[in-house]
Amino acid sequence: MTDYLLIIVSTVWVNNFVLSQFLGLCPFMGVSRRLETAIGMGLATTFVLTLSSVSSYLIDTYLLVPLALEYLRTLSFILVIAAIVGFTEMAIRKSSPILFNVLGIYLPLITSNCAVLGVALLNVQQSHDFIESALYGMGAALGFTLVMVLFAAIRERLEAADIPTPFRGHAIGLVTAGLMALAFMGFSGLVKH
């Protein structure tokens, strides 16, 4: 039980995928201008990450390893992720067309979000079992959502702040992301890995 808790804490705070491992920076910068969009993107990514982490574990354990086809890992993981993203896209288009429009190109781009493939591959590398893979994927997604929401909230305030002209827009966004990453490094002593 403690192991499972440690996995969650480790992926959400200590080894946060965006701020400590610098994976998935594209949607982090791209759709963090508004809080609602960031929450929508976070939820979509949570769904995709958890599901793809679990199903890539299943495919790896029950298909690729028994048939000695480990060299097909990246290919088949990408296939799984693309299918799940396609499904998520359809579901969001049906349930919330406005969110679909707002997320725009960033929704299909979850496919190429390196955090998603990264989680699937790290699961294999760290030889997680089924529940650990699920928790690892979910923790990574929760961490992603957390920093997305925090970052979007900061950026909304930055819009109204008195920033020198050369720093406005993405420049101050990147500076903020760097400071947030520094702050998240404070968690690194929390769990001995």
> From the CB of 168, what's the least distance to other proteins, in Å?
9
Q: Give residues with Cβ within 8 angstroms of 174, minimum separation 6.
A: 29
Which runs of E-coded beta strand occur in the chain? none
Selection from 9, 3, 5 nearest residue 190 by Cα:
9
Q: What residues numbered 119-178 form the site for other proteins, per CB under 8 A?
A: 160, 162
CB of residue 183 to other proteins, shortest distance in Å: 26
Interface with other proteins, residue 58, by CB under 8 A: no
> How far is Cα 148 from Cα 186, in angstroms, rounded to an integer?
18
94 binds other proteins (CB under 8 A): yes
82-to-28, 48, 110, 116 alpha-carbon distances in Å: 19, 9, 8, 10
Region of 3-11, 21-29, 81-89, 132-140 interacting with other proteins (CB under 8 A): 81-89
| Residue in this structure with the two tokens 């969110």, named with its chain if needed | 99
Decide whether 121 or 181 has the Cβ nearer to other proteins: 121
Number of neighbouring beta carbons within 10 Å of residue 109: 15
Site string for other proteins, 15-54 (x = CB under 8 A): -------------------x-xx-----------------
Give the single-character DSSP code of 168: T
Interface ranges with other proteins (CB under 8 A):
34, 36-37, 59, 63-64, 67, 69, 72, 75-76, 79-80, 82-83, 86-87, 90-91, 93-94, 97-98, 100-102, 160, 162
